[in-house]
Structure 1
Amino acid sequence: MAGRRAAHPDVELHHEVVRGHPVQVLTQASAHALGLIVGTRGRGGFTGMMLGPVSQGVLHHAQCPVITVPHPEHVQQRSR
Structure 2
Amino acid sequence: MLADALRDPAQQYRDVPASSEVVESSARRALLDAESGTDLLVVGARRRRGHAGLQLGLVHHTVLHHAPCPIAVVAQI
- Pairwise TM-score range, normalised by the shorter structure: 0.7 to 0.9
The percent of aligned pairs where both chains have the same amino acid is: 35
Indicate the structure (1 or 2) with the bigger Cα radius of gyration. 1
Superposition RMSD in Å: 2.1
> Which runs of 5 or more structure 1 residues have no equivalent in the other structure?
73-80
2:43 aligned with 1:38: yes
Please give the TM-score of this superposition, normalised by the length of structure 2: 0.73
Give the Å deviation of 1:56.
1.3
> Which runs of 5 or more structure 2 residues have no equivalent in the other structure?
1-5
Q: How many residue pairs end up in the alignment? A: 71
Q: What is the one-letter code of the residue matched to 1:5?
A: A
Give the Å deviation of 1:42.
4.9
On the 8 A contact 2:46/2:54 being kept in 1, the answer is no
Please give the TM-score of this superposition, normalised by the length of structure 1: 0.71
